[in-house]
Amino acid sequence: MIKAFVHADACGRTTLSELLRVHQWAETREFFGLYAYAAYSGVIAFGRSFGEEFWKQVPSRWLLGIDYGRTQPSALRYIIGRANTDVRIYDGVQTVGRAGFAPSRDFHLKTAFLLNREDTRFGMIAGSGNLSSNGLQRSVESGITVQAKTKPMFGASLKAALNTAESMWQTATPAVDIVDVYEERWTATLPGIAVDEGTNPDFENIDMFWIETGYVTRNRGPDKPGNQIDMPRGMCRYFGYEVVPDLAPKSVIGPVTFKPPFGGSVTRDLRLGGNMMEKITLPVPETHGLDMYDGKVLVFSAEVGGFTILALEAEDFDSAFKHRVADVRMMSSGRRYGHIV
Q: What is the pLDDT of residues 198-226, one digit of tens each?
A: 467 788 788 999 999 988 988 898 888 99
Same-domain check for residues 183 and 225: no
- 3-state SS of the chain: helix, strand, coil percent to 5? 30, 30, 40
Q: What is the pLDDT of residues 236-295, one digit of tens each?
A: 999 999 999 889 999 999 999 999 998 899 999 999 998 999 999 999 998 898 889 999
- What whole-number distance in Å separates Cα of residue 4 and Cα of residue 142? 8
The answer, yes or no, to whether residue 322 has pLDDT greater than 90, is no
HSE, CB side, 13 Å, CA atoms: give it for residue 166. Answer: 7
What's the pLDDT at 194? 56
What's the pLDDT at 26? 96
- What whole-number distance in Å separates Cα of residue 245 and Cα of residue 269? 19
- What whole-number distance in Å separates Cα of residue 109 and Cα of residue 87? 15
CATH of the domain at 322: 2.40.330.30
Does residue 314 fall inside a structural domain?
A: yes
Same-domain check for residues 211 and 290: yes
What's the pLDDT at 193? 60
The answer, yes or no, to whether residue 312 has pLDDT greater than 80, is yes
Same-domain check for residues 328 and 247: yes
Contact 123, 110 (CB under 8 A): no
The values of phi and psi at residue 123, to 5°, are -130, 155
Counted residue by residue, the chain has a size of: 341
Where does the pLDDT of residue 197 fall: very low under 50, low under 70, confident under 90, or very high at 90 and above? very low
CA distance to 239, 258, 283, per residue, from 305 (Å): 12, 9, 16
Average of per-residue pLDDT across 47-54 = 93
Same-domain check for residues 36 and 151: yes
What's the pLDDT at 10? 64
- What whole-number distance in Å separates Cα of residue 44 and Cα of residue 75? 8
What's the pLDDT at 217? 87
Same-domain check for residues 118 and 166: yes
Contact 276, 300 (CB under 8 A): no
Same-domain check for residues 79 and 210: no
The runs of H, that is alpha helices, within 143-229 are: 151-157, 159-171, 175-188
Range of the domain at 98: 2-188
Q: What is the pLDDT of residues 2-42, one digit of tens each?
A: 999 998 776 689 999 999 999 999 999 999 999 999 999 99
Same-domain check for residues 207 and 288: yes
Contact 42, 139 (CB under 8 A): no
- What whole-number distance in Å separates Cα of residue 232 and Cα of residue 329? 10
Q: What is the pLDDT of residues 93-144, one digit of tens each?
A: 999 999 999 999 999 999 999 999 999 999 999 999 999 999 999 889 999 9
User: Which among 111, 138, 141, 142 is positioned nearest to 22, based on CA atoms?
Assistant: 111
Three-state secondary-structure class, residue 194: coil
Domain count, the chain: 2
